[in-house]
Structure 1
Amino acid sequence: MQKLKKYLLQAAAFLATLLAGTANAQFGHLGYAELPQLDGGKTVLFYPTLAEETAVRQGPFEFSWAADAPPSFSNGRLVVISHGSGGSPWVHMDLTRTLVHRGFIVAIPQHQGDNYQAHSRPGPESWARRPLEISRAIDAVASYPPLQNFVSTDRVGIFGGSAGGHTALTLAGGQWSPDRFKAHCEQHLKEDFNSCVGFTTRLRGNALDYLKLWLARRVIAWRFSDPTPQRYTDARIRAAVAMVPFAADFLPASLAKPKIPLGLIIAERDVNQIPKFHAEAIAQACEPRCEVLLRLADAGHGAMLSPMPPLAPGSIEFALLGDPPNFQRATRVNQIHQAIAEFFAQHLLPDR
């Protein structure tokens, strides 16, 4: 009888922790699996497991997880992460671990032609394809046999930063077009140069700037004149968080009333996507029907990345992604991750 009472108390404590979804909820270790994509890429999958983790290395990063381990208890909800342009799953591993420790299952698809292994189709061409790739990732998780008793895909969350934030805004009901991208860059090219040309070059205040601006205008006018409205939603996605998104090409009215709960994270020292043209513009369009989870006065564009990849001093990546002086990365990044996890807990878990 005493053992039964002890078991019931343990079960009740576990259930209370599960329903509360608190930051201290621990759902075992990090399980890992790879799901093949139709385009030849792979979606990486993370989930709670009781199996022991082992050390692994991915490029410059060192992690630990339990590969192909049996799943354990979870809260039954899936969050899909859309990586940034040229990005990888590995720069979102700290957020992933936070989410898994809150009981979520996390999938990170590889965006075709715009990832760290293949970067030939960034920008509007990728943005049009990304939301469908999120849907396919949800399909893949739903049909993955080991998880079929642990996950329900009727209430899914989407998180994205930068180009991934564009994905999240689209799935929240946003409408955009390549022609709006072109119009923004024609009007604000010098002010928002990095958004319009990506990581190819920078303005440096010298005689070459005129040539860079001239060439950028020609390329943008040639490639991005299609006025066709782009929109895509998936009824399974029920909450979205967009961090430092590229957003200047959205029709503001399309996000005035987001179709699902939408959270925004704004880094006020972002030099890659200037907030007034992007995240702040969306906030002004959708508040109070969306929620600004955090305004980070001391953060730059790279605050969405954790762990931060090694950035060579003097490189374009260092200039656009490096942390501003006085940015307390360890404290701030944990604050960001907890805010994202709490937003998804509020909107995806049935008893919140």
Structure 2
Amino acid sequence: MSPLSRLVLCLSLLTIPIISDQALGAPVGCQHIVTHDGLELGLWYPSTGTVTHQNLGPYEQDCIADGPLTGQHRPLIVISHGTGGSWTSHLDTATQLAASGYVVVALTEPGDNWRDQSRVTDLSGRTHALSAALDYVLSQWSGAAKLDSNRIGAFGFSAGGLTVLLALGAKPDLSRLTPWCAAHPDSFTCAMIAHQKTPINGPLPHLTDRRIRAAVIAAPALGFTMSPQALAGLRQPIQLWQAQNDRILPEPGSVEPVRDALPGHPAIHLVEGAGHFDFLAPCRPGLETLPICQSAASFDRTRFHERFNAALVAFFNETLPASPRSGG
């Protein structure tokens, strides 16, 4: 990418409107659920009731615990976190989407979360879990009857970005792993794979979830496995995000191959001064020393998330428009 292109993309972030508390829309309800199958989910949605404060590990939120879902024909967004994360990893983004009229479900990926990283290389397991989260919310959740199954989007970060790509229909060329890791043995990705008992082997089974109509992907893992053939079948609108100073999944092996291989070559939103973990929710005061909470001294993660979250709302509003049936 040329310096001029980078400048244009960075400046474009500055034009995204910041949404004030007064403009957020409906109050947000929240739930923490473990399904009968053991899948851990967080949900956020428009609601009514008394707001309470919650501390959730390094994060915090204000929401209506177990409040009722208001409205009808609500669009649905599913969130997949990165390696070692949880359902709370992007709770501020989920809250912003819920305040704007969306129902949001975030899952804790089995075998690849902060408690358990025994199945980090199980790409199909991750993607099946994402689809299982959608299955639960659309059929068994108490608010299922108020959802619009034709308006489903996804947001994935890091390993979650790869998960969403697989759910969209990507067929990565896993034969690229060996030469890539031979050239980059000390990279986060290759070091992590080397310590796993189960290697990443292909080909992967059918993983496409055709319910997902649009997606936002930030700093996707294994981007270098995405050839034009791997992404040839993807026609969904996709928004890509890249941290300029990403040392976990640095260029050119993360976002750029995905951008170049996608039909239509969508633009990358390059976030100047950001590191990999700056896509995670801002941490609560006093926990700034945790690795996932640290940002560069010159980078304001809270300020960035105001723009980032607003951009996601705008993207999904455009790509998942209300239909006459939904009253839009």
Does TM-score exceed 0.5, indicating one fold?
Answer: yes
Q: 1:256 to 1:143 in 2, by over 3 A?
A: closer
Confirm or deny: 8 A CA contact 1:160 1:167 kept in the other structure: yes
Q: Tell me what 1:343 maps to.
A: 315
Equivalent runs, 1:30-45 vs 2, <5 Å: 30-37=28-35, 39-45=37-43
- Identical-residue share of aligned pairs (%): 27
In the alignment, the residues of structure 2 paired with residue 150 and residue 98 of structure 1 have an alpha-carbon distance, to the nearest angstrom, of 19
Aligned residues of 1:177 and 1:230 also touching (Cα < 8 A): no
- Kindly state the Cα deviation for residue 282 of structure 1 after the two structures are TM-superposed: 1.1
Deviations 1:214-264 (A, max 9, x none): xx86x57x8436332455211111011110111223334222452311111
Q: 1:71 to 1:270 in 2, by over 3 A?
A: same
Q: CA RMSD in A?
A: 2.6
CA distance in 2, matches of 1:145, 1:256: 34
User: Which residue identity does 2:50 align to in structure 1?
Assistant: E
Q: 157, 162, 166: which one pairs with 1:170?
A: 166
Partner of 1:278: 254
Contact 1:173 1:259 in 2 (8 A): no
Aligned letter for 2:301? R
Match of 2:229 among 253, 274, 282: 253
In structure 1, the partner of 2:95 is 97
How many Å separate the matches in 2 of 1:304 and 1:277?
Answer: 18
* 1:302 matched residue in structure 2: 277
Q: Is residue 195 from structure 1 mapped to residue 196 from structure 2 by the alignment?
A: no
Given that 1:36 and 1:43 are in contact with CA atoms closer than 8 Å, whether structure 2 keeps it comes out as yes
1:40-55 alignment to 2 at 5 Å?
Answer: 40-55=38-53
In the TM superposition, 1:77-226 aligns within 5 A as 77-122=75-120, 124-125=121-122, 127-144=123-140, 146-176=142-172, 178-190=174-186, 193-198=187-192, 223-224=198-199, 226=201
Structure 1: which amino acid aligns with 2:189?
Answer: S
**1:328 equivalent in alignment to 2:303:** no
Q: Is the 8 A contact 2:170 2:233 kept in 1?
A: no
Contact residue 48 and residue 71 of structure 1 kept, 8 A: yes
Question: Which residue of 2 is the match for residue 6 of structure 1?
Answer: none
Q: Which runs of 5+ in 2 are unaligned?
A: 1-17
Amino acid at match of 2:202: P
TM superposition shift of 1:311: 5.5
Tell me the TM-score normalized by structure 1: 0.77
Q: CA deviation at 1:43?
A: 1.2
* Counterpart residue number, 2:267: 292
Aligned counterpart, 1:72: 70
- Structure 1 233/38 Cα, relative in aligned 2: closer, same or farther at 3 Å? farther
> What letter corresponds to residue 108 of structure 1 in structure 2?
A
- Structure with greater helix percent: 1
Between 1 and 2, higher relative CO (CA 8 Å, sep ≥ 6) is seen in: 2
Whether the 8 Å CA contact 2:77–2:152 is kept in 1: the answer is yes
Q: Aligned AA for 2:322?
A: P
The offset of 1:330, in angstroms, is 2.5
| Pairwise CA distance, 1:38 | 5.0
CA distance in 1, matches of 2:268, 2:71: 28
Contact 1:263 1:291 in 2 (8 A): yes
Aligned-residue offset at 1:118: 1.8
Q: Please state if 1:241 is matched with 2:241.
A: no
Contact 2:153 2:213 in 1 (8 A): yes
Do the aligned residues in 2 keep the contact of 1:239 with 1:348 (CA within 8 Å)? Answer: yes
Equivalent residue of 2:270, what SS? strand
Question: Contact 1:91/1:307 (CA < 8 Å) preserved in 2?
Answer: no
**TM, length-normalised to structure 2:** 0.82
Paired residues of 2:19 and 2:306 also in contact (CA < 8 A): no
Q: Secondary structure at the match of 2:225?
A: coil
Q: Give me the whole-angstrom Cα distance separating, in 1, the residues matched to 2:25 and 2:146.
A: 13
Shift in alpha-carbon separation, 1:49–1:294, aligned structure 2, 3 A: same
